[in-house]
Amino acid sequence: MSTQPPPARIGDTVDQVDTPALLVDLDAFERNLDRMQAMADAAGVDLRPHAKTHKSVDVARAQMVRGAAGQCCQKVSEAEVLVHGGIDNVLVSNQIAGDAKLSRLARLARRATVGVCVDDAGNIADLSRHALAAGVQLRVYLEIDVGMGRCGVPADAAAVALCRQVIDAPGLAFAGIQAYHGKAQHIRGAGERAGAIRHAAAIVRTMLDLLSAAGIACPSVTGAGTGTAQFEADSGLWTELQAGSYAFMDADYARNLGPDGDPDTRFEHSLFLLATIMSTARKGTAICDVGLKSTSFESGLTLVADLPGVPYAGPSDEHGTLVVDAGQSVSLGQKLRLIPGHCDPTINLHDWYVGCRDGIVERIWPVSARGAFF
Amino acid sequence: MSTQPPPARIGDTVDQVDTPALLVDLDAFERNLDRMQAMADAAGVDLRPHAKTHKSVDVARAQMVRGAAGQCCQKVSEAEVLVHGGIDNVLVSNQIAGDAKLSRLARLARRATVGVCVDDAGNIADLSRHALAAGVQLRVYLEIDVGMGRCGVPADAAAVALCRQVIDAPGLAFAGIQAYHGKAQHIRGAGERAGAIRHAAAIVRTMLDLLSAAGIACPSVTGAGTGTAQFEADSGLWTELQAGSYAFMDADYARNLGPDGDPDTRFEHSLFLLATIMSTARKGTAICDVGLKSTSFESGLTLVADLPGVPYAGPSDEHGTLVVDAGQSVSLGQKLRLIPGHCDPTINLHDWYVGCRDGIVERIWPVSARGAFF
Altogether, the residues listed in chain A come to a count of 374
Is B177 in the same domain as B307?
no
Which residues are B191's β-sheet partners?
Answer: none
B42 min Cα distance to partner chain A (Å): 30
Q: pLDDT tens digit string along B132-146?
A: 999 999 999 999 999
DSSP 8-state class, residue A263? B
Cα separation, A290 vs A338, in Å, equals: 9
Residue A123 domain flag: yes
To test the contact with chain B by mutation, choose from A81, A116, A293, A323 the residue with the greatest count of B C-beta atoms within 10 A, namely A293
Beta carbons of B231 and B197 less than 8 angstroms apart: yes
Residue A9 domain flag: no
Altogether, the residues listed in chain B come to a count of 374
pLDDT number for residue A271: 98
Q: Name which of B315, B333, B373 is nearest A97 (Cβ-Cβ).
A: B333
Cα separation, A313 vs A342, in Å, equals: 16
Residue A218 domain flag: yes
Cα separation, A93 vs A74, in Å, equals: 6
Residue A3 domain flag: no
pLDDT number for residue A1: 45
Cα separation, A228 vs A151, in Å, equals: 19
How confident is residue A79, by pLDDT bands cut at 50, 70 and 90?
A: very high
Of A250, A201, A237, nearest in space to A348 by CA: A250
By C-alpha distance, the chain A residue nearest B313 is: A150
- Asked if the model's pLDDT at residue B329 lies above 90, the reply is no
Contact at CB, A281 and B119, closer than 8 angstroms: yes
Q: What percent of chain B has pLDDT over 90?
A: 95
Is B187 in the same domain as B142?
yes
Q: What is the CATH number of the domain that holds B213?
A: 3.20.20.10
Mean pLDDT in chain A?
96
A291 min Cα distance to partner chain B (Å): 10
Q: For A48-66, what is the mean pLDDT?
A: 98
How confident is residue B24, by pLDDT bands cut at 50, 70 and 90?
A: very high
pLDDT number for residue B325: 87
Contact at CB, A4 and B278, closer than 8 angstroms: no
Is B187 in the same domain as B277?
no
Cα torsion A185, A294, A4, B340 to 10°: value is 90
Cα separation, B265 vs A73, in Å, equals: 41
- Asked if the model's pLDDT at residue B241 lies above 50, the reply is yes
Q: For B61-74, what is the mean pLDDT?
A: 98
Find all residues with CB under 8 Å of B44, minimum gap 6, and list them.
none
Strands of chain A (E only): list them: 21-25, 46-47, 71-73, 89-92, 113-118, 138-143, 172-178, 221-223, 240-241, 271-279, 285-288, 303-304, 312-315, 320-323, 335-339, 352-357, 360-366
Cα separation, B90 vs B69, in Å, equals: 9
Q: What is the CATH number of the domain that holds A316?
A: 2.40.37.20
Q: Do β-strands A240-241 and A221-223 pair in parallel, antiparallel, or remain unpaired?
A: parallel
Q: pLDDT tens digit string along A85-136?
A: 999 999 999 999 999 999 999 999 999 999 999 999 999 999 999 999 999 9
Angle, CA A265 vertex, CA A261 and CA A270 arms, to 5°: 150
Cβ neighbours of B111 (radius 10 Å): 12
Residue B308 domain flag: yes
Find all residues with CB under 8 Å of A103, minimum gap 6, and list them.
A130, A133, A134
DSSP 8-state class, residue A191? H
Q: For A263-274, what is the mean pLDDT?
A: 96
Cα separation, B37 vs A354, in Å, equals: 43
Helix axes A157-168, A190-213, angle to 10 degrees: 60
Beta carbons of A345 and A62 less than 8 angstroms apart: no
Q: pLDDT tens digit string along B153-162?
A: 999 999 999 9
Is B109 in the same domain as B171?
yes
Contacts of A366 in chain B (CB under 8 A): 1
Residue B254 domain flag: no
Amino acid (one-letter) located at A334: Q
- Asked if the model's pLDDT at residue B2 lies above 70, the reply is no
- Asked if the model's pLDDT at residue A332 lies above 80, the reply is yes
DSSP 8-state class, residue A208? H
pLDDT number for residue A314: 85
- Asked if the model's pLDDT at residue A172 lies above 70, the reply is yes
Widest Cα–Cα separation across chain B:
72
Is A234 in the same domain as A307?
no
Is A316 in the same domain as A287?
yes
Is A227 in the same domain as A274?
no
Residue A354 domain flag: no
Helix (H) or strand (E) holding B196: helix B190-213
pLDDT number for residue B327: 78
Residue B116 domain flag: yes
How confident is residue B1, by pLDDT bands cut at 50, 70 and 90?
A: very low
Contacts of A278 in chain B (CB under 8 A): 94-97, 151
Which range, of A316-330, B12-26, B75-89, B271-285, averages the lowest pLDDT?
A: A316-330
Contact at CB, B298 and A293, closer than 8 angstroms: no
Domain of A108 in residue numbering reads as: 27-248
Q: Do β-strands A46-47 and A21-25 pair in parallel, antiparallel, or remain unpaired?
A: unpaired
Q: How many domains does chain B have?
A: 2
pLDDT number for residue B326: 76
Is A280 in the same domain as A217?
no
DSSP 8-state class, residue A183? G
How confident is residue A308, by pLDDT bands cut at 50, 70 and 90?
A: confident
Find all residues with CB under 8 Å of B67, minimum gap 6, and list them.
B37, B40, B41, B47
Amino acid (one-letter) located at B190: A
pLDDT number for residue B188: 97
Beta carbons of A243 and A46 less than 8 angstroms apart: no
Q: For B170-185, what is the mean pLDDT?
A: 98
Is A210 in the same domain as A90?
yes
Contacts of A316 in chain B (CB under 8 A): 150, 182
DSSP 8-state class, residue B5? P
Is A39 in the same domain as A172?
yes
How confident is residue B267, by pLDDT bands cut at 50, 70 and 90?
A: very high
Is A222 in the same domain as A102?
yes
Q: How many CA atoms lie within 13 A of A203 on its CB side?
A: 23
Amino acid (one-letter) located at A161: A
Q: Looking at the complex, does the CB of residue A100 fall below 8 Å from at least one CB of chain B?
A: yes
Contacts of A101 in chain B (CB under 8 A): 18
- Can you spell out the DSSP letters for B42-78? HHT-EE--BHHHH--HHHHHHHHHTT---EEESSHHH
Q: For A69-79, what is the mean pLDDT?
A: 98
Angle, CA A348 vertex, CA A347 and CA A353 arms, to 5°: 45
pTM attached to this predicted model: 0.97
Cis peptide before B20 (omega within 30 of 0): yes
Q: Do β-strands A335-339 and A271-279 pair in parallel, antiparallel, or remain unpaired?
A: antiparallel
Cα separation, A74 vs A61, in Å, equals: 18
Is A194 in the same domain as A226?
yes
